[in-house]
Structure 1
Amino acid sequence: MPAVVDHEKRRQQIAGIAADLISRVGLDALTMREIAAAAGYSTTIVTHYFASKRDLLLYTYRASASNAQGRVNTVLARDPCDLKGSIEALLPLDEARLQDWKVYLAFWQIALVDPDFSAEQRAQANNARNILQGVLVARAQAGLVPADQVDTLARRLLVCVVGMAVQAVFDPVDWSGDGQRAFLDAELRSLVGAD
């Protein structure tokens, strides 16, 4: 009797391998053959789950975004007003999050010229801003920030997150986890008076 295969778990496994390879060698060096070899599968098995490299790349990008969303959801389940925790969930404070950011940055190259990837990039950026807006709305309802500043603050915080993450990817010594947290603390005090 053939083994039962969880197809979604297999897709996630292949995407995880692709994310690791993207973070180490970049998109240009990534091939379906290399992914198959890293997974211990034949190329045929990889192409069974992903019809093309493009499909695999889009799935991998979305999986990295889903990782960040899961971290944020965990924070907000504990405290819907936890702005610092929500932002920390988005930042590359450890190896797994750094890998996610390397995947995001690699996809910016494609998003510049591919309308589908560009739309996906905009959707993910809007989602991150919506997360920040939701936390700020909760804080406004608690009297912690002015309600009329929620949209502006969410935009400024998103720019801060992206800027910090890019710096951390390219300068991990100066922008270590501790360095990111210290900078975030100062920015939050400046922008929203939060600790």
Structure 2
Amino acid sequence: MRVDPDKRRKDIAQVTIDLVAREGLAAATFRRIAAEGGWSTASITNYFVDKQDLLVWTFQLLSEEGERRFEEAMAASAKDPVPALLTMVPWCPANVRRWKAYLAFWDAAVRDPELASLLANSTSVGMDLLDRLVRRSWPDASDTQPAVELLNATVQGIALQILVDQKQWSEVKIRNILLESHNGIVGRFAAP
């Protein structure tokens, strides 16, 4: 049976994300990924030249998943900003996994210019998504950048706090703080 190369690359990346989320980037060796995915090491080298190639592709997939989830949540809730903002914080197991993997990549990006560039691009896309969310509540805005930057910083700060102390952050608390943050920031900058 012929293997769909794109699907196999995505499957390998998903196993890599799981491993990185659990144990960090150092654990993401071809041997470990192959063992966890039930593949041979050679089958991974068939799709990725080296670990850097795999990590770059995996980070791009992780970012695209986050963007897609934000877009879907925003489309599904025309008036409420919270569902879209929830995609950006670790409030559920899927988001905890994503955030742990993101943090491992962010740590590596401090020392790796290629990953730093990918992270900067991903952050820029995230800021554009937040801009669209802010403009939905503040359609006549000429300059939303200060509000978007503050909302981004707030969401990331909340996310980090949730990750290190999940017991203090119920879903209700997270939803309320995201809504208050969004409305307060937009209200502050939208006020004449």
- Secondary structure at the counterpart of residue 59 of structure 2: helix
The answer to whether 1:117 aligns with 2:115 is: yes
Structure 2 distance, partners of 1:187, 1:76, is: 17
**Structural RMSD (CA):** 1.9
Structure 2 distance, partners of 1:175, 1:54, is: 35
Report the AA paired with residue 29 of structure 1: A
The answer to whether 1:55 aligns with 2:53 is: yes
Structure 1 distance, partners of 2:175, 2:31, is: 39
Report the AA paired with residue 166 of structure 2: P
Q: Is the 8 A contact 1:92 1:177 kept in 2?
A: no
Report the AA paired with residue 188 of structure 1: H
Structure 2 distance, partners of 1:35, 1:109, is: 20
The structure 2 residue matched to 1:99, chosen from 97, 100, 107, is 97
Report the AA paired with residue 68 of structure 1: G
Given the superposition, is the C-alpha separation of residues 13 and 4 from structure 1 closer, same or farther in structure 2, using an over 3 Å criterion? same
The answer to whether 1:15 aligns with 2:13 is: yes
How many angstroms does 1:148 deviate by? Answer: 4.2
Q: RCO greater where, 1 or 2, for CA within 8 Å and sep 6 or more?
A: 2
The structure 2 residue matched to 1:161, chosen from 155, 170, 179, is 155
Identity %: 31
Structure 2 distance, partners of 1:81, 1:126, is: 24
* 1:46 equivalent in structure 2: 44
How many angstroms does 1:81 deviate by? Answer: 5.2
Alignment of 1:120-139 (within 5 A): 120-139=118-137
How many angstroms does 1:28 deviate by? Answer: 1.8
How many angstroms does 1:79 deviate by? Answer: 4.6
Deviations 1:126-182 (A, max 9, x none): 1111111112223222x6xxx145111110111111111111222211134333223
In the alignment, structure 1 segments of 5+ residues that lack a partner are none
Deviations 1:30-79 (A, max 9, x none): 21101000111110001111111111111111111111111111123235
Structure 1 distance, partners of 2:182, 2:137, is: 13
Report the AA paired with residue 82 of structure 2: K
The structure 2 residue matched to 1:86, chosen from 84, 87, 98, is 84
The structure 1 residue matched to 2:180, chosen from 175, 186, 191, is 186
In the alignment, structure 2 segments of 5+ residues that lack a partner are 188-192
Report the AA paired with residue 154 of structure 2: C
Q: Is the 8 A contact 2:69 2:87 kept in 1?
A: yes
Given the superposition, is the C-alpha separation of residues 34 and 180 from structure 1 closer, same or farther in structure 2, using an over 3 Å criterion? same
* 2:190 equivalent in structure 1: none
- Secondary structure at the counterpart of residue 166 of structure 2: coil
The structure 2 residue matched to 1:171, chosen from 165, 168, 186, is 165
